[in-house]
Structure 1
Amino acid sequence: MATRRPSQRIPGYALFSVPPLGPVGITETEARASGQPLLVGRRSMTCVGRAVEKDEPEDLMKVIVDAETSRILGAAILGTGGDEAIHGLLDLMSAGIPTQPSRTQSRSTRPYRSSSRLCSER
């Protein structure tokens, strides 16, 4: 029997729009209202090859992280593959894995040109 309650689930969904939207967890506004120290990362899709190829580089990725624990509190990907790529962040959040790249990215290999790779491209 599961020990986790529905209230402990991390909210997330995919909006199959143009461009696609994939949000997960809490928003930046909700995180700031909590008063805890935050790190907020924003990244333009100009560094994502697939978005550039589709001529959609104006879209955005954003991740909200607890500055003390390095755990992801929320994220949103608006753009090419965002509705798919958000699942990788949801998995990290569900597992409680901190965001230090050397600890998380070294554990997995992302298939070439998969939408889930959006979060690791530079």
Structure 2
Amino acid sequence: MAQVTVQQLAEVVGASAERLLTQMKEAGLPHSEAAEAVSDEDKQTLLAHLKQSHGESTDAPRRITLKRKTLSTLRTPGSQGRKAVNVEVRKKRTYVKRAPEELVAEAAEEETEAAAGSAAAEAA
């Protein structure tokens, strides 16, 4: 992508160039003049800093629950009286996003189990 200057970014965002420069200083970016170029990485750094300073968490939710409810009708041909029965099936599935260190620990555990299994097979 083409790099833009601080002044152009300020016009796009709708803020003054001076205010944008102070926010960039707070984010730890080296920009000091409105004519300096701003890369996409600098924009992402500034956005992350502004989100954090305004209290928005950068983490996605760790758990998401999906619920599904289906309604079907069973027809009973040989019964007296009521010929159809309504059946409601509810399904609930929860997905948990695991931390990277948990994934590393699990991978190491699987490797040790695989090594122990191959050693037992060689001994037999």
Same-fold status (TM-score > 0.5): no
The structure with more helix, counted as a fraction of residues: 2
Q: Which has the higher Rg, Structure 1 or Structure 2?
A: 2
Normalised by the size of structure 1, how large is the TM-score? Answer: 0.19
Tell me: higher relative CO, structure 1 or 2? Use CA pairs within 8 A at least 6 residues apart: 1
Normalised by the size of structure 2, how large is the TM-score? Answer: 0.19
